[in-house]
Structure 1
Amino acid sequence: MGDEGKAAKVPTDQNAQQWSGRVDGSGAQHLRWHQLIAEQESENLSDAVALIGFRSDAGVLRNQGRIGASEGPAALRSALSPMAIHKHRTLVDLGDIVVGGDQLEPGQERLAGAVVQALSSGALPVILGGGHETAYGTGLGLIRHLADDRATRLGILNLDAHFDLRDESRRTSGTPFLDLYQEMQRHDREFHYAVLGISRPGNTAVLFEKAEELGVPYLLDEDCQPEMIWQFVHAFLERIDVLYLTIDLDVLPASVAPGVSAPAGYGVPFERILAVCRQVVASGKLVVADVVELNPRFDIDSRTARSAARLIYEISVG
């Protein structure tokens, strides 16, 4: 693969600043994320968690949202840095893909290439967004990785207040899953997509109709009780072989996640979203994940970043 498929490494001084924090000792029982990532080489990705930053505001801006998500990857690294290691797994940081100005489509292509590379190396890619336009690059990478394996059923589980099935003339943070549907149609793949946490006031009737048309199962935020969530996720996992989990932080209540493009007036309690993460990890089907829409400009006491970091922790090494 050429350089266009690789994440652009962040400068060493910037990387060191993001991966830094308290050091209690050098033994395995003392380790935190920033120590482990500093020690491990990005060349060895087999069974690693491979972090890829996607610094993009382009899709949110096109979608008329509050920009600032391009600062999300740095805030997520800072929130992950002090977390303790209790179960050893290789952690590597592949750096950032930077979307300059309105150059969204080339950036998504570069992200797709980086995801293919990580998956082909045996890693679990975890993408740090960026707006939800991140999802098109993540999903496209998985589709390309499985291009010669049409028998494997690919599923996308979106934890989100919104369907993100808008039909627009160009890609935005509101279109990624319709874009992926169209990509799967071109590859003669079935579209397995489900959404948990949908806000009825946050989605127009047209979007509900589109979800019905495409056969998208969804669970409204007000129906997200523990047993209903477990059954919903279980039923979806039964239909697929490999899972792409995408977490839009606006699925959480605004009190938990104020630092997003569109804060939720209702939202799904944090502990229930955490339970979904544990359920999909336990299934053994999770192959790629992304966490998107963190906007540090509107965060309060790093509340959103810390919540997001805990979810990433559970996906990665929990």
Structure 2
Amino acid sequence: MNIPSDLDRSVWTGRTDPEDGDLGRRWHHVIRPVAPEPGVALVGFACDAGVSRNRGRAGAAAGPLALRRMLANLAWHGADPPRLYDAGDVACVDDALETAQDAYADRIAALLHARHFPIGLGGGHEIAWGAYQGLARALEGDSRLERLGIVNFDAHLDLRIGPQPGRGTSGTPFLQIAGSRAAAGLPFRYLCLGLSRPANTRALLERAAGLGVEIVEDVEAGRSPAEARLERFVAESSAIYLTFCLDVLPPAVAPGVSAPSSLGIALHRAVELLRRVLDHCRHGRPGGKLLLADVAELNPRHDPDGRTARTAARIVHELAALSY
């Protein structure tokens, strides 16, 4: 497992309040290289080749760095003693997306084998295909793989057909996952939360229906039935992979993405729903179902005041604070 053994302390910097002792700790105080004790492991996927192939706005390759900088100064509310690790970045060189996804999958699998909870920092949503491959490698021979559920906070289904066989984009990961699972004789269980109907063609919606995808539209997300559907989906799953695409949020809070929403789910509601998923997964408790998560589509090139990165950091905080 090729994971860096040190940290870039020029990134992990921030405020220090010595008068508060350990109660004043922030992420930059507690982050460290990966250690044997199970903990939260941040993994960057510095890539936007999939976005470029999908004819989106490039710039997400710089997402992991921008996100770490926003995370650095957050107050630490996780475990004591802290077990928060930086597992480094997997970078995509030029258009070698498939090579980068395979390397990312290897890193995710190694972290899962070591009983860490990986949180991916994107990078375009092509991160999801790499993440799934890593999860499948780690769960080979494990019965939980059969009843895996994927919860995707996203305005888009990302079920596009790739430009060529074997070549994906940021818009294809869940169709790639569906194909992989079908080839292995496994069911495809996928819930897309926050879908924007105007941003998805009839072809995509019909493809989703044919695959049995569960959809909660953005206009439905504020209602209580959305919570009941989430609860049922998690209850019927043996394991959960959660991926949060920032374009599910309103452009006022997340302009720095490849394809901004016209509506989006209000940030406070998105956090409420995220917490529901974590609670139903028994996240951070023995037997918890959530094995892997990531935040995708942070594009600093279109985030001049850093608000999207700040929002992404809040989502990562929610995922990490209750983990260990």
TM-score (structure 2 length as normaliser): 0.92
Which of 68, 78, 90 is 1:77 aligned to?
68
Which runs of no fewer than 5 residues in structure 2 stay unpaired? Answer: 283-288
- Per-residue CA deviation, residues 213-244 of structure 1 (Å, 9 max, x unaligned), is 00000011111114132112112112201110
CA distance in 1, matches of 2:128, 2:37: 22
Q: Deviations over 1:90-124 (max 9, x none)?
A: 10001110101100001000111111111111110
Query: By how many angstroms is 1:44 displaced?
Result: 2.2
Match of 2:126 among 129, 133, 148: 133
Say whether 1:298 aligns with 2:297: no
| 8 Å CA contact 2:5, 2:34 repeated in 1 | no
Task: Tell me what 1:56 maps to.
Answer: 47
* 1:248 equivalenced with 2:245 (yes/no): yes
Partner of 2:99: 106
Q: 1:225 aligned to 222, 225, 250, which one? A: 222
Question: Residue 285 of structure 2 corresponds to which residue in structure 1?
Answer: none
Trace 1:160-199 onto structure 2 (pairs within 5 A): 160-168=154-162, 169=164, 170-199=167-196
Give how far 1:10 is off. 9.3
| Residue ranges of structure 1 left out of the alignment (5+ in a row) | none
1:29 and 2:23 are equivalent in the alignment:
yes
SS at match of 1:191: coil
- Distance in 1 of aligned mates of 2:290 and 2:242: 7
Say yes or no: does 1:19 pair with 2:8: no
Q: Aligned partner of 2:138: which letter?
A: H
Q: How many angstroms does 1:11 deviate by?
A: 7.9
Give the CA RMSD over aligned residues.
Answer: 1.5
Distance in 1, matches of 2:22 and 2:276, equals 27
* Contact kept in structure 2, 1:258 and 1:304, CA below 8 Å: yes
TM-score (norm. length: structure 1): 0.93
Deviation at 1:41, TM superposition (A): 3.9
Q: Distance in 2 between matches of 1:119 and 1:166?
A: 29
2:288 is the alignment partner of 1:288: no
Q: Secondary structure at the match of 2:9?
A: helix
Residue 68 of structure 1 deviates from its aligned partner by 0.3
In structure 1, distance between residues paired with 2:77 and 2:123: 28
Query: Which of the numbers 143, 155, 158 marks the counterpart of 2:152?
Result: 158
| 4+ aligned runs moved over 6 Å, structure 1 | none
Query: What is the aligned partner in structure 2 of residue 202 from structure 1?
Result: 199
